[in-house]
Structure 1
Amino acid sequence: MDQDTIWTLVGKKLNNEATPEELRQLHQLLKQPWADVYSIQILEAMWRQNPNQPPRFIPYKLQQKWDKLESKLETDDTRTDTFQDPANEADPPVKSMRQRFIPALTAAACLVLGLLSIIYWKNHAGNYNVKTYQITAARGNISKIILPDGTKVWLNAGSEIFYKTNYGNKCREIRLTGEAFFDVVKDAEHPFIVNTATMRIKVLGTAFNVRSYANDNVSETSLIRGRIELTTASNPHHRIILKPSEKLTIPNKKGSHHNKNEAFMTLSALHTTKNDSLPSEAQWLENKLVFDNEYFDEVAKKMERWYAVSISFKNAQLKEKRFSGKFEKESLNTALEALKATSSFNFFMDNGKVIIY
């Protein structure tokens, strides 16, 4: 069987036992449509992790049958391999899913190509057999990645995920800082777990969005389909079950200036409208910057990540203003002018820095 042959040839290659003919055969086999899920770097890393456990190749026809949500989420035809072998650090980093249309940054885009998503590894403290992979989406960009089990992850701007080389042995566990959308492959024997600074989310197979930026006032988990079990860092023994179209909001810092009079956690419905294919909580997947009745300083943080700029306030009272809006291809200046038209403030822009006053 071709899949078994690939696994055998990968082992021979890594042990320097493969003949030139076998190396050519491996190269040809990896060109097969059903085998393009994993790059040679991914296969080598997986073989080193467990040579007795071949990967589960995803048939080409199943790849074509992405569900309706998947087709909505695709914003480019570039697929990102993410399971890079630490021994091949010289290999090019993964590509960003696509670069947003930001006129002011177009010229700079060529200079940072290849830095949009960065993968590197580091030894896990006290254990030299287990290593940690880190994947980063730079500010101003969205990255799509595929984990070793076929789970698809979209990383929003300024986000990172971490997972270890033993991913999938007992469970599929990752750590997230920032925002990501997960379309999880169902596997009842290997639960999928997402850890953030404020919550722990456990699923079997589902689609959901998590936002947990360190400098935001709140963290959110929004369930699109399926079912998830959630616990908070402050109360790990209390389990919360989310149903489709529900969102759980948790303050990141107790007593922060917006949260003084707010409940510890809030369960609410997702924001949906008739003309939108996705709730507002996940419309960043369609390259839309959306905010619903949010404080200006929270809006500013989203705009910082979206447009890769820094924004500061000269007048702290302006942070308390609330805005609702949706931007897609608008430049930063156009977006700020639109907000300015609905409220009284001014702004100054210079070399990637914005001052609100």
Structure 2
Amino acid sequence: MTDQRFTELLGKQLAGEISADESIELNSILANNAALNKEYHLLQTYLESETEEEENIDVVFNRIKSQIQTPQAPQLKIIKSKNLLWLKIAAAVLVTLGIVLLYKREAFFSDQADHLVLVKVHTKAADIRTITLGDGSVVKINSTSKFRYPKKFSGHNRNVYLSGEAFFDVKKDLQHPFIVHTEKMDVQVLGTAFNVKIYPNDAFAETTLIRGKVVISLNQDKSQQFTLKPNDKFTLTNGKASLSQSDGEGVTETAWTNRELIFKNDRFDEVAKLFERHYDIKIAFKDPDLKKLTFTAHFTKENITEALNALKFIENFNYSIKGKNVYIFR
């Protein structure tokens, strides 16, 4: 049940044990239900206002519960341990919320709400997938990525969820904005083509606009919004946002859609990540200083041996390959 999953995710967040994928899932639930969103922020406000762990928990819980108009709710015994305390508050509030929402028979909890069933696509290394969404939009998903989307769009927005990299060619619909939700930012469009790259193990996230117009809002501060024009490239690194120009129609950023690799003045450790996803290998640096070497190259049909040999003409290093493991050394 969605309410049970929401309780579990909120409890993990309050306890500081939520993963990146679970955080995206929690945000998607909140984005699709105004009532849950309101009560979520109410709960957060109360918890943040508490400065003493041993404050009378019954008082805290009663203050929260008093904000919700609901039929008689079951009583819960609260244990005064920090993580368990927050988990019990979340559970208590959401039990009450569940009764309210079920009582109102909202579509979010309805078994007939088919549009809320999300299809999950998980690509492996060296795997690229192309899918067509219910509105006719086409999404090409890069390797080692996770993408979720509804079987059928319904409601005001067309919401999809990404961890990794994907290229979107979105059907124009002025009445229904298309929103790509990620861990760090949301990308909203009406009809356009753009690339989004946000891998969990990368130090940066980026969006490159090919045509049309997109608006990016940061999850850490929704008031920060950035509007991109064609060939604009938005980059988020360590919470700092910047805008630059791509090299014309995003050739470098979208080369992967044609199973090509293009990089310009990139560090070796960043190139290694591209190689790992493209060739389904693992790269280890025996000399950490080699990570700082920079390369510019364009690979089309080269295998990993040919690619590494080409880089050796640019900088001095050696390598060995054992199965799917590649070792870089002096």
Please indicate, yes or no, whether the TM-score normalized by the shorter chain is above 0.5: yes
**Retained in 1: the 8 A contact 2:134–2:151?**
no
Q: Among residues 221, 235, 247, which one is paired with 1:249 in the alignment?
A: 235
- Is the 1:227–1:242 Cα contact (8 Å) retained in structure 2? yes
3-state SS in 2 of match to 1:141: coil
Aligned with 2:174 (options 171, 175, 188): 188
TM-score (normalised: structure 2) = 0.63
Q: Tell me, yes or no, if the aligned pair for 1:231 and 1:238 is still in contact at 8 Å.
A: yes
1:271 aligned residue: 247
CA offset at residue 155 of structure 1?
0.6
Aligned-residue offset at 1:190 = 1.0
Give the one of 245, 256, 261 matched to 1:284.
256
Q: 1:127 to 1:214 in 2, by over 3 A?
A: farther
Larger Rg, first or second structure (1 or 2): 2
- Contact between 2:231 and 2:250, CA under 8 Å: does it hold in 1? no
Secondary structure of the 2:125 match is coil
Deviation at 1:310, TM superposition (A): 0.7
1:309 aligns with 2:285: no
Deviation at 1:269, TM superposition (A): 0.4
User: Do residues 340 (structure 1) and 312 (structure 2) align?
Assistant: yes
Distance 1:354 1:186, change over 3 A: same
The yes-or-no answer on 1:350 pairing with 2:326 is: no
The match for 1:143 is 129
1:339 aligned counterpart, secondary structure? helix
- Matching residue of 1:233: 219
Tell me by how many angstroms 1:132 deviates. Answer: 2.2
Task: For 2:153 and 2:284, locate their aligned partners in 1 and report how far apart those are by CA, in whole Å.
Answer: 40
Partners of 1:149 and 1:182 in 2: CA distance: 13
Runs of 4+ in 1 over 4 A off after TM superposition: 125-129
Compared with structure 1, are the counterparts of its residues 228 and 346 closer, same or farther at alpha carbon in structure 2 (3 Å cutoff)? same
Secondary structure of residue in 1 paired with 2:117 = strand
**Distance across 1 between alignment mates of 2:285 and 2:154:** 45
Aligned pair count reads 219
- Displacement, 1:134? 0.5
| 1:212 and 2:184 aligned | no
Equivalent runs, 1:22-61 vs 2, <5 Å: none
CA distances 1:125-148 after superposition (whole Å, capped 9, x unpaired): 977653221112221021111001
Q: Which amino acid aligns with 1:348?
A: S
Task: Tell me if 1:178 matches 2:157.
Answer: no
Measure the CA separation in 2 of the matches of 1:247 and 1:339: 27
- For the 8 Å contact 1:168–1:190, the answer to whether it is kept is no
State the shift of 1:234 in Å: 2.3
Q: Is the 8 A contact 1:149 1:168 kept in 2?
A: no
Equivalences for residues 98-137 of structure 1 within 5 A: 129=113, 130-137=116-123
Q: Match for 1:267: what amino acid?
A: L
- Is the Cα–Cα contact under 8 Å of residues 246 and 267 in structure 1 kept in the other structure? yes
Deviation at 1:317, TM superposition (A): 1.1
Shift of 1:300: 0.3
TM-score normalised by structure 1 residue count: 0.59
Q: Does 1:158 align with 2:144?
A: yes
Q: Which amino acid aligns with 1:240?
A: F
1:201 paired residue number: 187
The answer for unaligned runs of 5 or more in structure 1 is 1-124, 255-263
Q: CA RMSD in A?
A: 1.8
Stretches of structure 2 that go unaligned for 5 or more consecutive residues are 1-107
Give the C-alpha shift of residue 337 in structure 1: 0.8
Deviations 1:168-227 (A, max 9, x none): 332110111111100000011111000111110100000000111111111110000000
Go from structure 1 to structure 2 and tell me whether the alpha carbon gap of 1:126 and 1:351 turns closer, same or farther (over 3 Å shift).
Answer: farther
1:291 and 1:148 map into 2 onto residues whose CA distance is 34
2:241 is aligned with what amino acid? M
Q: Tell me how far apart the structure 2 counterparts of residues 298 and 204 of structure 1 sit (CA, whole Å).
A: 32
Q: What percentage of aligned pairs have identical amino acids?
A: 38
Letter in structure 2 aligned against 1:294: D
CA distance in 2, matches of 1:304, 1:218: 17
